[in-house]
Amino acid sequence: MTTAAMLNGRATAPIESLLQEQRIFAPPAEFTATARLKSQAEYERLYRQSMDQPEQFWREMSDRLHWSEKPTVMCDWSHPPFARWFTGGKINASYNCLDRHINHGLGDKPALLWEGEPGDRKVLTYRQLHREVCRMANVLKAQGVKTGDRVAIYMPMIPEAAVAMLACARIGAVHTVVFGGFAAEALADRINDAKAVAVITADGGWRRGKIVELKKNVDAALAKTPTVQRCLVVRRTGQSLAMTAGRDSWYHDLVAGVSDVCPAEPLDSEHPLFILYTSGTTGKPKGVVHTTAGYLLGALLTCEYVFDLKDKDVYWCTADIGWVTGHSYTVYGPLACGATTLLYEGAPNFPDMDRFWDLIERYHVSVFYTAPTAIRAFVKWGEKYPQRHDLSSLRLLGTVGEPINPEAWTWYHRVIGGRRCPIVDTWWQTETGSIMCTPLPGITATKPGSCAVPFFGVDLAVVDRQGRELPPNVGGFLVIRRPWPSMLRTLYGDDERFKQQYWREIEPFYFTGDGARRDADGYFWVMGRVDDVVNVAGHRLGTMEVESAMVAHPKVAEAAVVGRPDELKGQALAAFVTLKAGAEPDESLRQELKAWVGKEIGAIARPDEVRFTEALPKTRSGKIMRRLLRDIAAGKETVGDTSTLEDYSVLAALRQDRE
C-alpha cells in the first residue's frame, strides 16, 4: 500500500494499538545527581520557552556557537516549506568543532580515539586534529576545490574520514559521504546526483579480516561520473593500486610539506554543509541537504542534553559516518561539544563476537550509542560475550534507527547497562539532522519501546489525515508542526520532490512518514512506517507491535511482519522470524509462535504465516526492508529497488522457505 492510499483510508484512528508496555524505569539517583538537566520542571521550562518564545530561546541557544557575525533573525519561515535559520550570521562548522576548543585550552584533550579492525590505534588531540584538517583543507584548495563545490567522501572508518568532512566544512565545500559498503553503482549514482567535482577515498579498509576494495569501486564508479576532476587516495591497507594519471593522487604525496595554517572560511548560516542520501528503507534514497548553523546547533545541543556529554566522558557512537548518525553523533555533535569520540573501523564480530565489549572495556567508554539491529544481533549471539568484559565504565546507553522491541530494550538495559545506565531511545531521521524525540537521561522515567518526549523546539504531534491532534493512545501520523534549526532545507536539486515528499500529505505540517501514538503521559511510541501498516479485516495494524510480541518469545531473536493479499481479510499477516542460537525452526514452534502472538496482543494480530529465516533483508544501515518482504510474501517474482540492500543472497533464501 502506498502512503497516499493509507492516508486516504476511512479511519480517523489510522493505526490501532494493541500492545501496552507497562514497565517503567526511573532514572537512577546517581545519574541525576550529576546530569546537565536534573528536574522535570527545568525541562518543561525550557520546552515551553522554545514553543512560546522561540526567537528568544534560539537567540540564547545560538550563543553556544562561535559566530564570525551574529545572526539577526533566528527563523525565517516566510516561504514555507523553505526555512532559513540564523540569517545574517556568519559561521564555520570546522572552527566550532576545533579552533574554538583549542582557544579555550582544550588543545591537548583527545578529540578522536581510533582503532582499526586489525588492532592498530591512533589518538588525535584537538590540536592534532585541527592540524590535519587544515592540511587537508589546503590540499583541497590546491586541487581546485572551491566553496560550494561538492566533494564525495568514500572512506573506511579511519581518522581521515572525519578529517575530510571537517576539511570540506572549513573551506565551505559541501561533502557527501557515501557509505564505504556501497558498491560502485550506488557510489556513481550519488556522485552524479550531487555533481561532485572530487572524491576522497582510500586504497581500502578492513572488514571482517578482509580488505574492502574502495579504490577499485571508485575506479568503476568514475567511469560514469563526468563531473569528477580529482580523486584523492588515502593509504590505509597499503596494497598497490592502479592510479589514473591526471585524476588520481596519493594523499600523502599531496600533503607532504603543505602548510597547517588554513583560516576557517566565515560562511553564511544557510551555506550547505552536506548532502546525505537516506538509507533507502522505503524506496529510492533522497539527497537530503543540511546547512551550517542550524544543523550544527541541533547536533551540539542534543549531544549536551541527550548524551549529557561532559569533560571526562569517552563517547562512542557505533554508526558509520556514511549515515546521518555518524555525521551528527560521531563527528559534528561530539566535536562541537569538545568531547572525546571513539571511531572503530571494523565489524562487531571480528575477531570474535565480543569486539564491542572489548573496546568499551579498554577505552573506558562511558556513553554508548548504537542501533536496534546491533542489539538484536548481540541478543542472538548470547550473553556470554558481554560477560567476558568489564563494562562498568558505561553510564548511559542510547539507541536509534528503528523502533526498539521492548525485549531488546530490557536486554540492553540489563546485560550491557548492568541495570544502572539510563537508555535514551532517540527518534530522528536523516531529514531532521538531530534527535527530535528522546528521554532526557537525568529526568525522564523510561518506558521500553517509547522514544519519550520531544526535544526543545520540536513541535511533535500525532495527527489524523486532516492534521488534527489525536487523543492519547490512538495511532496516527507523526508530524512536526513548525520548523526547527537542523531540519533539511530541500532535496538536492529537487525542490518539487522535497515538497511532495514531506509537505503535501498533511499540510501544512512536515510529515515524517512514521506512524505513532502518544500515551496519556505524553510519551511517543513510534509504531513503524505508515507504508508498512497492515490492514487486516478492517483493522490497521502497525508492524512494530506485532513484531515486538514475537520478539518477546524466548526463542525469537528478530521478526519482521508484513501484509500479504488475502481474499477474505484484505490482508493477512506474514511473519519472517530469525531464532536465537540453539532454537529449532520446526512446525511445533511455528504453531507456538502464532498462538503466542494471539495470546500476547489479540487474535486479530495472529500471523497467518510464519517463515523461519537465517537473516532478514536489511539496508546497509541495518534496517529491515519490509517492502521487499511484502513482495516476497505476495509471491512476486521481482521486487522493488534493491540498491541499498545489504545482502542479496538473503532474498534468494527467503523465496525458498515457504510455509
Interface residues with ligand ATP (CB under 6 A) are: 278-283, 285-286, 400-403, 425-427, 429-430, 451, 512-514, 526, 529, 621, 623
Least Å distance, CB 377 to ligand ATP, is 17
Give least dist CB 490 to ligand ATP, A: 15
CB closer to ligand ATP, 170 vs 623: 623
Contact at 8 Å (CB) between 502 and 431? yes
Closest to ligand ATP by CB, 27 vs 401, is 401
Which residues touch 59 (CB under 8 Å, ≥6 apart)?
A: 74
CB of 402 to ligand ATP, least distance (A): 5
User: Residue 11: how many CB atoms within 10 A of its CB?
Assistant: 17
486, burial (CB in 10 Å: exposed 0-12, middle 13-18, buried 19+)? buried
Q: Can you list the positions of beta strands (E) in 446-586?
A: 453-454, 460-463, 476-480, 490-491, 510-518, 524-529, 534-536, 539-541, 556-566, 570-579
Nearer to ligand ATP, 379 or 479 (CB): 479
- For ligand ATP, give the closer residue by CB, 288 or 379: 288
- The three cell numbers locating residue 2: 502506498
| Among the listed residues 307, 311, 304, the one whose alpha carbon sits nearest the alpha carbon of residue 439 | 307
Q: Least distance from C-beta 407 to ligand ATP, angstroms?
A: 15
**Number of Cβ within a 10 Å radius of residue 110:** 18
Nearer to ligand ATP, 304 or 320 (CB): 320
Nearest approach, Cβ of 496 to ligand ATP (angstroms)? 17
Nearest to 264 by CA among 369, 195, 172, 151: 172
Would you state the torsion angle of the CA atoms of residues 134, 135, 139, 145, taken in this order, to the nearest 10 degrees?
Answer: -10
Q: How far apart are CA 423 and CA 199, in angstroms?
A: 38
Rounded CA-CA distance 593/59 in Å is 54
- Give the pairing of strands 556-566 and 539-541: unpaired
Q: Which is nearer to ligand ATP, 578 or 619 (CB)?
A: 619
Whether 21 contacts 36, CB under 8 Å: no
CB atoms within 10 A of CB 36: 15
Cα–Cα separations (whole angstroms), residue 75 to 50, 428, 489: 12, 21, 13
Q: Are 427 and 435 in contact (CB under 8 A)?
A: yes
Q: How far from chain centre, in Å, is Cα 395?
A: 21
CB 334 within 8 A of CB 96: no
Query: Is residue 571 within 8 Å of residue 536, measured between CB atoms?
Result: yes
Q: Which three cell numbers stand for residue 301?
A: 545541543
**Secondary structure of residue 320 in the 3-state scheme:** coil
Q: What torsion, rounded to 10 degrees, do the Cα atoms 155, 161, 165, 166 define?
A: -170
Find the shortest distance in angstroms from Cβ 243 to ligand ATP.
34
Instruction: Report, in Å, the least distance between residue 582 CB and ligand ATP.
Output: 29
Distance (Å, whole) CA 650 – CA 282: 18
Q: What's the min distance (Å) between Cβ of 240 and ligand ATP?
A: 36
Whether 391 and 368 have beta carbons less than 8 Å apart is answered as no
Cell of 108: 591537548
Cβ closest to ligand ATP, residue 425 vs residue 600:
425
- The CA distance from 430 to 231, in Å, is 27
Report residue 548 as a C-alpha cell: 515486538
Shortest Cβ 301–ligand ATP spacing (Å):
18
- Report cis status (omega within 30 of 0) of the bond before 71: no
Which of 197, 400 has the CB closer to ligand ATP?
Answer: 400
Q: How far is the CB of 479 from ligand ATP (least distance, A)?
A: 12
Q: Which is nearer to ligand ATP, 529 or 611 (CB)?
A: 529
Nearer Cβ to ligand ATP, position 172 or 448? Answer: 448
Instruction: State the amino acid at position 545 in one-letter form.
Output: E
Are 234 and 160 within 8 A, CB to CB?
yes
Q: Closest distance between ligand ATP and the C-beta of residue 453, in Å? A: 13
Q: Closest separation between CB of residue 331 and ligand ATP, Å?
A: 16
Q: Name the residue nearer to ligand ATP (CB basis): 345 or 514.
A: 514
199/435 with CB nearer ligand ATP: 435
Alpha helices by DSSP H, 524-647: 543-551, 587-601, 626-633
Closest to ligand ATP by CB, 206 or 509: 509
Residue 288 C-alpha cell reads as 537530503
Shortest spacing between CB 62 and ligand ATP, in angstroms: 25
* Closest distance to ligand ATP from the beta carbon of 278 (Å): 3
Minimum distance of ligand ATP from residue 450's CB (angstroms): 9
Q: How far is the CB of 153 from ligand ATP (least distance, A)?
A: 18
Encoded amino acid at 13, one letter: A
CB-nearer residue toward ligand ATP: 459 or 566: 459
Closer CB to ligand ATP, 128 or 473, in the complex? 473
Which residues have CB under 8 Å from 245's CB, separation 6+?
none
Cell of 351: 575477531
**Whole-number Å distance between alpha carbons of 505 and 479:** 10
- Whose Cβ is closer to ligand ATP: residue 271's or residue 286's? 286
